[in-house]
Amino acid sequence: MRTKIKSALISVYYKDRLDEIVKKLSALGVTIYSTGGTLKFITDLGIKAEAVEDLTGFPEILGGRVKTLHPTVFGGILARRDNPTDLQQLDAHNIPQIDLVIVDLYPFEETVKSKTDEQTIIEKIDIGGISLIRAAAKNFKDTIIVAGREDYGSLITLLDEKQGESDIEDRKRFAAKAFMTSSHYDTQIFNYFNQTQNIPSFKQSFTDAKTLRYGENPHQQGTFYGNLDEVFEILNGRELSYNNLVDVEASVQLVAEFSEPTFAIIKHTNACGLASRDTIAEAYKAAFVCDPTSAFGGVLASNKKIDAATANEMNSLFFEVLTAPDFDADALEILKSKKNRIILKQKIAINNPKMFKSLLNGVLEQDTDKSVELSTSFKTATTAAPTTAQLSDLEFAIIAVKHLKSNGITIVRNKQLIGMGCGQTSRVDALESAIKKSKGFGFDLTDSVMASEAFFPFPDCVNIAHSVGVKAIAQPGGSIKDQDSIDAANANGQAMVFTGVRHFKH
């Protein structure tokens, strides 16, 4: 059933494209009610509008905190057009029906991001707007609710195509989007307050969504919720896939841990290549030779601008994605020679304080692992102490192993990942995998260092590492058999430090 818009209430914070809407409404003979700055905006266009305070007979009070909260307004919105009693009450109290509500909300979320003053933030909690949204959405059988500028285009199309009329399907669609708006808004407010209150409730809300080609596999559907445009500028290539996004997250989080020029090559979220050097071109070359086989089809990340020298070095490699903070123009021209190669310029750092995943019949949430272990906090457990160069490599190795799936082992020399083992059911298997890969690519492990993301329950890894030339080891410590590993390292002449921090990753 179609209904005709005869009256509209408009009260908005953002005025983008509002002029188009009110001109169309005026041309259709719609009576317009409005408030404050919106009323002035409309009348300045030469369009007739009635002040809500004239309709209600009650002025705005409390510095604008109370504008539309009045039975005359809400009665006109909530009255059921097919209910004779509702209509009689409207007539008895001289309340006009309101067929269209256009309202948005104070920018609470944006204010939280840009301000720290609590009073400023609290004043951006909308009361009247959220109430109008809920009322109009509830009465979608009779009323259209437009709950933000994102839907102005849809309303304009509706006005053009149906000349001021709407179907129940139109109104229900607008209502659904309105409840999305109100629920998202309330979630942001709750999460702001819950930063200090720690009420045990999981609430997350994303209003941007992108349907992916598929999920992890072609038979799975996939969607990304969030605004990727805030993080990346896509400079080349096709759309990011589910697996691309997972690996991009792993790659940018890894290189963000380093301040000197560092390059990472990721395969299935694990680093198969990682190196720090004086220039990003040298870092790429050192990262690539770590495992040139796995680098094929990988996801690459740099923490520094990509120059032409680096672009030339990597251009012959087939890779899925390259992320960097910036690109020289000539470097970009080289890299764009492959049309499907995805090139991303990272605009902002990723700094999520929490991470979560669906599991069983609920959700797991935890703090993001932001712990950084520096050599100044290492506890030397052995007679031999690491050299200055070894301490630097141990810091590098700890960061590298922190980002591998458990059980994980990294072998490093001169800030280059020359061996890695990850995702193994035993730490010995992870170490043996690291050694096998390292030797397979021609690395000499003499005078290298090793890091483990968790403690050694037995001294076997210490002894295996010694047999291939590992001279210094970093591990969290904490096993009831720590002394066995310390004794083995002392017998081998190895240095071992405890970090006191475990980095399981599943």
The set of catalytic residues is: 138, 268
Handedness of CA 161, 164, 165, 166 (dihedral sign): positive
**Whole-angstrom Cα distance, residue 406 to residue 429?**
11
In contact, 105 and 181? CB cutoff 8 Å: yes
Helix (H, G, I), strand (E, B) or coil at 379: strand
Residue 141, class by beta-carbon neighbours within 10 Å (0-12 exposed, 13-18 middle, 19+ buried)?
A: middle
Count other C-beta atoms under 10 Å from residue 159's C-beta: 22
**Whole-angstrom Cα distance, residue 169 to residue 163?**
16
Residue whose pair of structure tokens reads 């980002």 in the numeric block: 403
**Whole-angstrom Cα distance, residue 297 to residue 299?**
7
DSSP 8-state class, residue 6:
-
Residues written for the chain? 506
Q: Provide the CA 344 distance to its chain's centre, in angstroms.
A: 15
Residue whose pair of structure tokens reads 């809300």 in the numeric block: 205
Take residue 385 and report the two structure tokens written for it. 């102490």
In contact, 248 and 264? CB cutoff 8 Å: no
**Whole-angstrom Cα distance, residue 373 to residue 343?**
32
In contact, 52 and 34? CB cutoff 8 Å: yes
Nearest C-alpha neighbor of 89 from the set 76, 101, 98, 107: 76
In contact, 414 and 397? CB cutoff 8 Å: no
Kindly provide the residue ranges of all beta strands, DSSP E only, lying in 315-457, ordered along the sequence.
Answer: 319-324, 342-346, 354-359, 362-367, 379-380, 409-412, 417-421, 448-452
**Whole-angstrom Cα distance, residue 487 to residue 492?**
9
**Whole-angstrom Cα distance, residue 330 to residue 334?**
6
Count other C-beta atoms under 10 Å from residue 197's C-beta: 8
